[in-house]
Amino acid sequence: MADIMIDVREVSRDFRLALPPGTEKGIRQWPRARSDIFRALDRVSFSVHRGEVVGLIGRNGAGKSTLLKILSRVLRPTRGEIDIYGRLGSLLEVGSGFHPDLSGRENIYLNGALLGMRRSVVDGLKDEILAFAGIGTFADEPIKHYSSGMYLRLAFAIAVHLDAEILLLDEVMAVGDEEFRRKCLTRIEEACRSGRTVLIAGHDLATLSTLCQRFLLLDYGRVAADETPENVTAHYLRLINAPSDRAV
């Protein structure tokens, strides 16, 4: 097997829950009352090799987003270690690096820089990005005047032009109309085939299984299955049809 790009070892993440109503809050509760802990990730271990496209699936609250946030270093693990062997670009939420007062063109530079693109690279790509997004005459308009569709298209256009070796994507397939969606999927397929390492979280199993060679199923913060899309899909369907075994 090819070289390891992402190596996740025994990663756990706890969140402190809000205190129940009626308990004393603020300085009066200090230092005694401690709130309950919710374990969003529980000793998760896996590794991803170069060129692999892995689908991250699981029910709502299974820990998919927490895992992606930890990998993109927005959150820290409570325990465990991760090594990443490559430049990483993450798109956790569409348009997250946008400033409403800047124009579309200016935002391409800001967003590109945030995602780790060199300015010289953005110079060469900006026309292609604008064309891909279909922004047309609105390129120099502050993006707070954009329609939500234009906003999403621009964000996604920047993301698919990223030159990162490792891509983290979360639910990004759900943007725009059918035509733009198809265009994005083609672009993602290209990225997947170009030897990039991709980790995609989502719920659209049909689309994901056309893209990925491997599914990682999270359930209650643990890795419940990690193999081919067909086998994991069957496992997942059993899970969601089974009566809930734990109160959330």
Q: How far is the CB of 211 from another protein (least distance, A)?
A: 19
Out of 4, 19, 185, 224, point to the residue binding another protein (CB under 8 A). 4
Residue 97 binds another protein, judged by CB under 8 A: yes
**Across the chain, which distance is largest between two alpha carbons, in Å?**
59
Residue 67 binds another protein, judged by CB under 8 A: no
x-marked contacts with another protein along 12-41 as a string, rule CB under 8 A: ------------------------------
* 234, 83 contact by CB (below 8 A): no
Return d(Cα 102, Cα 94) in angstroms, integer. 17
x-marked contacts with another protein along 148-167 as a string, rule CB under 8 A: -----------------x--
Residue 70 binds another protein, judged by CB under 8 A: yes
The size of the interface with another protein (CB under 8 A), counted in residues, is 42
Write out the binding residues for another protein, residues 179-208 only, by CB under 8 A. 195
Select 113 or 234, whichever has its Cβ closest to another protein.
113
Residue 141 binds another protein, judged by CB under 8 A: no
With CB under 8 A as the contact rule, which of the stretches 28-36, 52-60, 100-108, 238-246 interacts with another protein?
Answer: 100-108
Using alpha carbons only, give the angle 12, 15, 20 rounded to the nearest 5 degrees. 150
Per-residue b/e over 12-36, b at no fewer than 16 CB within 10 Å? bbeeeeeeeeeeeeeeeeeeeeeee
Q: How far is the CB of 10 from another protein (least distance, A)?
A: 10
Q: How far is the CB of 24 from another protein (least distance, A)?
A: 17
Both tokens of 165, joined, read 């070796």
Return d(Cα 164, Cα 13) in angstroms, integer. 26
Out of 93, 127, 189, 190, point to the residue binding another protein (CB under 8 A). 93
Out of 76, 147, 238, 247, point to the residue binding another protein (CB under 8 A). 76
Q: How far is the CB of 187 from another protein (least distance, A)?
A: 19
Residue 106 binds another protein, judged by CB under 8 A: yes
Give contact residues for another protein (rule: CB under 8 A): 3-5, 7, 50, 70-88, 90, 92-93, 96-97, 99, 101-102, 106, 109-110, 113-115, 118-119, 165, 195
